Structure 1
Amino acid sequence: MTKRTKIIAIANQKGGVGKTTTVVNLAAALARRSRTVLVVDLDPQANATGGLGLEKEEGVSIYPVLLGSAEIADVIQPTAYDNLNIIPSEVDLAGAEIEIARREDHLSVIRDALAPVRESGVFDYILLDCPPSLGIVMTSSLAAADGVLVPMQAEFLAMEGLGLITNLLEQLRAGANPNLELNGILLTMVNMVATQTRDVIAMVKERFGDRVYETTIPRNVRTSEAPSYGQPVIHYDPTCKGAVAYRAFAKEFIARTPTRFNEVESATAAVPGAEPAAVGAATAEGVQVPSEIPVVAVETETVTQEPETSHDQVS
């Protein structure tokens, strides 16, 4: 069965909008649905690295790959979760802005670095956790991507930032990456009790239509706690509102961002009583895994929506 690895940049130049939380939990939720996922932490703060339970380690990031002093296979690290690997970040990655800016090929440097992994066909999704800026690393990341996912806080001030990143997307479409798409806008930190939140959601949907994901991510204490324990919230507290929302979002994301699994899923959905396990078995068969790329396990999971528990809170 054929597939094409999809590279999705998760980007917003404004910090504190749930960008890295979305990267970590989308990756974990996809992995639990038997998708093979590589997270690339391009943010020097290394929050995605910590959120998946890894420590920063000098020389273990995409930075030496960009400098040409390491192979990308050497910096791919396993996580505690099946089907989920990461290229961590490190403090030195802050120097990437200067190093890349000096190069004539600065818009293609991340695309070229990721090419061996993409061409290997090991991963269904490569998720790029972009730094919260409109600098060279962000721009090069978008130039490498098939699509851009924009997590956006459901507040009026966030609308301006959304306009900036969509303008950048249009500029790249006109030059370095003609096939770049707006994968979608994910509304985060949503409090549907607030009139402002409902107004912002209506405005975003009016402007961007079906590019806005139906799933929204609520404000949730357990989601905020999970990174301090080095876990995605879907593992830290699977029944809390944040975990339920991110699992629903992953399902919607898969439908919008097809890879090899979708043919099998469509066939499975058409047969009453078909076992979800058939998806993993069929898609794993015949996949060539180069020895230099870490092997990730392929398991399947029947995903159910659990009831909320009493410890869940909204803050």
Structure 2
Amino acid sequence: MSTDWTAPRVCVTNAKGGTGKTTIAINVAGALNERGHDVLFVDLDPQGNATEGLGLLDAYDKDPPTFFDVLTDHRKRHLVNDLVVEHEEMDVLPSNIDLLQAEHELTIADLIARVKSDPKSTIDPSELASLAINVRPEGVTGPHALTVLDDVLDAVEHDYDYVIIDSPPFYGKLTDTGIYAAQHVLIPALTEATSERAIELLIDQLAALEGQTGITVETMGVVANRVEKTNEDRVMLEWLNEVFDDFPVWEVRKRVALQRAFSAGNSVFAFGESVDMADVFLDIADSFEQRFETETRRADHEVTL
């Protein structure tokens, strides 16, 4: 890799519940580790499913300071290095029960940002801050407050090859901060008719976020999950390939072993039982390598011109 390599970040996101988002995120991280990469896994979901699924339930119940504090208090960003937990396959920035308060905090932070950016506003930002737990006006800069996870990850002192972010299964400030920090998304989807509306909403949400912040969110691909051999699955796979015709659509067949690996606190690559779907996750990891290493080489070339 280039000596100027900056760890790419990918947010695994879909607001529709039950897509197996967390299982996919863990196994993509496991595949990257299997290919020799140093991975940081960020559990941004207040429910802590990935934290629990990686066997780190104690971290979820940890006393402050927690992920919530480093995310919402600009004075505590450096403490993120004390929160990262080692797992045999990846390092983990675990979720915490306190993250259940994050939507409220980030909403207040966003209101403060808007007030501070509006020269006609007569609202005192400190009055809004009085409604928050951690957020302070001096810690909010710019026209919005979606940079908080980006700032947290910038404070991480260890050098990683990849950062995988498992987003919450709902739309809101937390999900937006995850997408903003990554600016690359991997989309899990079930091959059932209800997924169409969820995908359409996600596309609209990404467009709205781009419009609000001026960033460009790149799609890495779609993971069709728990695929079976039914007519509905076939029709939905055709639909996904049509909607995402410029991106890879990977198929993960329904396998009980995937859930068993999750219950054991590992990806399929550290699980004792052989799982044929492991090759799909390795293919996703290979796609990431090709995409990001090509971008890095292109950037290096442009610098030398």
TM range (shorter): 0.7 to 0.9
Aligned residue runs from structure 1 range 257-296, under 5 A = 257-258=292-293
| Whole-angstrom distance in 1 between the partners of 2:227 and 2:88 | 29
Structure 1 7/210 Cα, relative in aligned 2: closer, same or farther at 3 Å? same
Give per-residue Cα distances to partners, 1:30-71, cap 9 Å, x unaligned. 011111111110112211112222222323642110132452
Contact 2:11 2:185 in 1 (8 A): yes
Q: 2:152 aligns with which of 113, 135, 138?
A: 113
1:134 aligns with 2:171: yes
| Whole-angstrom distance in 2 between the partners of 1:77 and 1:261 | 28
2:11 partner SS: strand
| Whole-angstrom distance in 2 between the partners of 1:60 and 1:183 | 33
Contact 1:60 1:90 in 2 (8 A): no
Q: Any unmatched runs of 5+ in structure 1? A: 264-315
Match of 2:84 in 1: 76
1:63 aligns with 2:68: yes
| Whole-angstrom distance in 1 between the partners of 2:92 and 2:244 | 31
Give per-residue Cα distances to partners, 1:135-154, cap 9 Å, x unaligned. 11001211111201111111
Aligned residue runs from structure 1 range 140-219, under 5 A = 140-191=177-228, 193-213=229-249, 215-219=250-254
Match of 2:286 in 1: 251
Give per-residue Cα distances to partners, 1:96-148, cap 9 Å, x unaligned. 1111111024222222222223xx57112111110000011001211111201
2:92 partner SS: strand
Match of 2:26 in 1: 24
Contact 1:151 1:185 in 2 (8 A): yes
* Matched residue type, 2:38: T
* Matched residue type, 2:87: T
Structure 1 182/204 Cα, relative in aligned 2: closer, same or farther at 3 Å? same
| Whole-angstrom distance in 2 between the partners of 1:188 and 1:254 | 22
Structure 1 131/205 Cα, relative in aligned 2: closer, same or farther at 3 Å? same
Aligned alpha-carbon RMSD (Å): 2.2
Identity %, equivalent residues: 29
Q: 2:43 aligns with which of 41, 62, 76?
A: 41
* Matched residue type, 1:206: E
| Whole-angstrom distance in 2 between the partners of 1:66 and 1:234 | 31
Structure 1 237/60 Cα, relative in aligned 2: closer, same or farther at 3 Å? farther
| Whole-angstrom distance in 2 between the partners of 1:226 and 1:262 | 36
Scaled by the length of structure 1, what TM-score is found? 0.76
Match of 1:284 in 2: none
Which segment drifts farther, 245-254 or 4-13?
Answer: 245-254
Contact 1:153 1:190 in 2 (8 A): yes
| Whole-angstrom distance in 2 between the partners of 1:153 and 1:253 | 22
Q: Any unmatched runs of 5+ in structure 2? A: 114-143, 299-305
1:132 partner SS: coil
Contact 1:218 1:241 in 2 (8 A): no
Contact 2:34 2:269 in 1 (8 A): no
| Whole-angstrom distance in 1 between the partners of 2:55 and 2:148 | 28
Contact 1:154 1:189 in 2 (8 A): yes
Q: How many Å apart are 1:200 and its aligned residue?
A: 0.8
Scaled by the length of structure 2, what TM-score is found? 0.78
Q: How many Å apart are 1:235 and its aligned residue?
A: 1.6
Match of 1:233 in 2: 268
